[in-house]
Structure 1
Amino acid sequence: MSILSSSTLIGTDVKSPAGESLGDIKDLMIDLTTGRVAYAVVSFGGLLGIGSKLFAVPLRALQQNAQDKSFTLKTTKEALENAHGFDKDHWPDFADRSWQTAVHKHYDTPPYWG
C-alpha cells in the first residue's frame, strides 16, 4: 500500500500504455462521506495550460509507475481528444451519481462507492 500526500500527486505525469504523455494531475476529488480519493483531475492538451481540457479520471483507472514516478491510463491521445471533458470554469457536479456512473463506465472501472 502506498500513502502519498496530495501535493506529491499534483503535477504528476499521466501516460498511455505506449508511453505517450496524456497530461498531468491538476487536482484530486475527495468523497468526504467515505474519505476516499474518488477522482484525479487530469489536464490534457492546450499550450501552457491555455485551452487545455480537464478530465475526471477514477483513481482506480490510474496505475502507478514507480520507475519514473508517473501514472499510466489505459487510453490514447486520440481517445482523450474525443472524450467528454470539462474546462476550468465549468466543472461537473461530482455528487451526481449518474455522472459518476458514466465516468466509471467510460474508464471501465468499478465505482469507488461499491
Structure 2
Amino acid sequence: MTHTLVPSDLVEGTAVYGRDGEKLGTIERLMLEKTTGAVAYAVVRHSGFMFSNTHHYPVLWNSLKYNSQRRVYEADLTLAEMQAGASELDGDAFDWGNRAPPYAPPLYWGT
C-alpha cells in the first residue's frame, strides 16, 4: 500500500537535486504555517567540500517533487539560482518567517 503522508523526520535529511542533476543539498527542516499547518518551505542545507561553507536556503515546498525511485526531492532550479536567493548569509536582516520585502524573491520563489 502506498501512503501519501510521510513523517517529517523521514523528510529531514533527504537529498534535493536541481533540474541539472546537481545536488543542491539536504532538507534540514520544514517551515509550517502556524494557523493552517501547511508546509510553506523547506530549509535546504548546502555544504561545500568536506562540509565546509555550510549555508541554508529556503525552497518553496510546492516547488519540490518527490522522486520515489531515487528517494530524493527534485527542484526546478540550479545551485546558482538557489544561492542567489535569500539565505542566512543576509545576516540579521534575514527573517526565516518573513517572506515580505525588502527581499526581492529569487527567480524560483514565485509570489
Do they superpose with TM above 0.5?
Answer: yes
Contact 2:88/2:94 (8 A) holds in 1: yes
TM-score, normalisation: structure 2: 0.77
CA distance in 1, matches of 2:65, 2:59: 12
> Cα distance 1:72–1:94, how it changes in 2: closer, same or farther (>3 A)?
same
Q: Does the C-alpha gap of structure 1 residues 102 and 83 become closer, same or farther in structure 2, counting only changes over 3 Å?
A: closer
TM-score, length-scaled by structure 1: 0.76
Structure 1 residues 48-105: Cα deviation after superposition (integer angstroms, max 9, x where no partner): 4442111111100101101011011111122233333215x86932442515x854x6
Structure 2 spans left out of the alignment, 5+ residues? none
Please list, as runs of the form range in 1=range in 2, the aligned pairs for 1:24-63 lying within 5 A after superposition: 24-63=26-65
- How big is the shift at 1:2? 1.9
Q: Distance in 1 between matches of 2:16 and 2:87?
A: 16
Counterparts in 2 of 1:1-114, with a 5 A limit?
2-87=4-89, 92-99=94-101, 102-103=104-105, 106-109=107-110
The answer to whether the 8 Å contact 1:60/1:109 transfers is no
CA pair 95-108 structure 1, distance change in 2 beyond 3 A = closer
Number of residue pairs matched?
A: 107
Instruction: Determine what percentage of the aligned residue pairs are the same residue.
Output: 28
Cα distance in 2 for residues equivalent to 1:71 and 1:79: 17
